[in-house]
């Protein structure tokens, strides 16, 4: 979540958060997790909710993206929730 927070503080929305884009620096306990694949990332201004482009991986897309409504930073938070669900339960919602 620190990586996502850092992106959002710098006006970047990743738009493709998924387990495959989270990389462990090592297998050691407490190893750093690095966020990868910024190919779909966009820059937004403040709390802008005016992006309409369809981007991301099915299964991690927020309702706003699926409905083609304006969206912004919250789409990354939704994807973090999906990832957390997978980590807790072992399979996607």
* Spatial CB neighbours of 46, under 8 Å, sequence gap ≥ 6: 11
Q: Which residue in 16, 37, 69, 76 is the catalytic one?
A: 16
**Is 76 considered catalytic here?**
no
Tell me which residues are annotated as active site: 16
């Amino acid at each position: 979540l620190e990586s996502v927070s850092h992106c959002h503080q710098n006006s970047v929305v990743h738009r493709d958060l998924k387990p495959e884009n989270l990389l462990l620096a090592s297998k050691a306990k407490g190893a750093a997790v690095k966020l990868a694949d910024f190919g779909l990332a966009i820059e937004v201004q403040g709390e802008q909710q005016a992006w309409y482009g369809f981007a991301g991986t099915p299964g991690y897309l927020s309702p706003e993206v699926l409905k083609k409504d304006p969206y912004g930073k919250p789409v990354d938070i939704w994807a973090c929730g999906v990832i957390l669900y997978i980590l807790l339960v072992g399979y996607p919602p």
